[in-house]
Amino acid sequence: MTLKKLSQIAVSAILIGGMLAGCSNQGDNGAATTVPKATDAAVKKEEKVKLTFWRNSGNDSENAAYDKLVASFMEKYPNISVEMTPIPYSDYDTKLRVSIASGSPPDIMALDAPTLASYANAGALKPLTAYFKADGNMDDIPKSTLATYTYQNEIYMAPLTESSIAMFYNKKLFQAKGIPLPSKNPDEPWTWDQVLDAAKKINDPKSGVFGIDPAQGFNNAGATAYFKYPIIWQFGGEIMSPDGKTAKGYLDSPKTKEALQFFSDLYNKHQVSALEYPPDPFPNGKLGITIDGSWSLSYLNDKFPNFKLGEDYDIAPLPKGSAQAVANGSWALGISAKSKYPDEAWKFVNWVTGQDGQKTYSSMTKDIPSRYSAAKEFPELNQYPKNVFVVQNQKYGRPRPITPVFPQMSEAVNKLFEEVTIGKRNIDTSTAEAIKTIDKAYADIEAQKKK
């Protein structure tokens, strides 16, 4: 995938064993651009504090938004300076690992949601629960979002934005086949059986037209986690235990296997999905249904101006089996466990991720704010089509498994989907092997911690 947000979904192997073992003990969008409002008393006349802040470098709008937030923070708090260091995405993880292992991490760091447990388990992050309870306005954040940044009952990161996925469908292909159009109401999704029925009617491989791409094909493990885990949840299945220690009894549950079988059948039994598609099959009329992200709205608008929302395609909530579910979590801010100035660091984190900070950031980046109050500030986020993504995330969002072996787990589950679908392998056999791989990874990291 070449889209910005999907590149952020890919999870690199991080903070497990090796160098980190020594750490284990430890404006538009419908609203005007604003800067956060002052919420506390006048700045104390004390010695100047210098905070270091590392983040992955983003696009021009993201960089400009951070520049604005840092500048406004330092104007309000002249005794606190923030030295921000944007680092290219490809180098970010390695540099951060090295800084933590060497005992000189930045005071504040941006992290992708699935990496939380790895950092927290290694003792690299300071718990933020007490800060949130004091002035973090926790009720303004969906409980499922806070759960994404919680490990062993402690909140470790402050969310800034969200992204989400939905069902995109070719309206003209539906109408040509006499298929009733899905509801646009985020609370009224089609069932997967309804989706399958529509995909069968649209499917015409001889003409190069396919019914559905259910999860953005077969890409990296990060994409698997974002697009395929919801299918497991929608069928009532799970991937790992709530404490993130084992996949046994979860990945091999009957409901999870049912989801895997349904997914495989789309390709092998019903043949409404293909292992390979031509370039941009959806806007080019070669794909009836695709599951895609909120970020694709601008992509389709920019690259395919003649393929119009409302005329050629529309958006509906993700399908459901027995339940609605979508993966949540994006990049967020955490504080180093080794920071000498955690209180000042929290001031900055709370400034950036509070209501006004999120409003500033999202006004410039067009991202979805993670706070209820900030999302309400943007009229377009409360109207179709973007309300589909926002409401789904707020009401039906779920954390991807919070485990220190997330990279290994993602690879194992990615392989599982490939084996049962592409390789047509026995689900029980492949699932057992995936569980063995995941549970061994967890045992290895626990053994490493004890050394």
CA 71 to CA 76: how far, in whole Å? 9
- Domains of the chain listed by start with CATH number: 4-163+330-398 (3.40.190.10), 165-327 (3.40.190.10)
- Report pLDDT digits (tens) over 50-65: 999 999 998 999 999 9
Alpha-helical regions (H) of 102-191 = 116-121, 129-135, 143-148, 171-176
pLDDT of residue 224: 77
Residues 6+ apart with CB under 8 A from 45: 79
CA 167 to CA 231: how far, in whole Å? 12
Which pLDDT band holds residue 36 (cuts at 50, 70, 90)?
low
CA 8 to CA 56: how far, in whole Å? 10
CA 339 to CA 84: how far, in whole Å? 15
- Report pLDDT digits (tens) over 86-99: 999 999 999 999 99
Structure tokens at 407: 């990279």
Query: What DSSP state is assigned to residue 191?
Result: B
Structure tokens at 33: 């651009």
Locate tokens 């979904």: which residue? 9
pTM: 0.89
% helix, strand, coil for the chain, step of 5: 45, 15, 40
- Report pLDDT digits (tens) over 116-175: 999 999 999 999 999 999 999 999 999 999 999 999 999 999 999 998 999 999 999 999
CB atoms within 10 A of CB 352: 26
Closest CA to 110 of 135, 73, 82: 82
Give the bridge partners for 210, in sequence order.
287
DSSP line for 360-392: HHHHHH-PEESSHHHHHT-GGGGSTTHHHHHHH
DSSP 3-state assignment of 53? strand
Answer yes or no: are the C-beta atoms of 415 and 431 closer than 8 Å: no
CA 184 to CA 26: how far, in whole Å? 49
Give the bridge partners for 397, in sequence order.
326
Answer yes or no: are the C-beta atoms of 397 and 241 closer than 8 Å: no
Structure tokens at 333: 């801010």
Helix (H) / strand (E) element for 290: namely: strand 287-293
Which pLDDT band holds residue 18 (cuts at 50, 70, 90)?
very low
Structure tokens at 45: 């006349």
pLDDT of residue 4: 39
CB atoms within 10 A of CB 242: 10
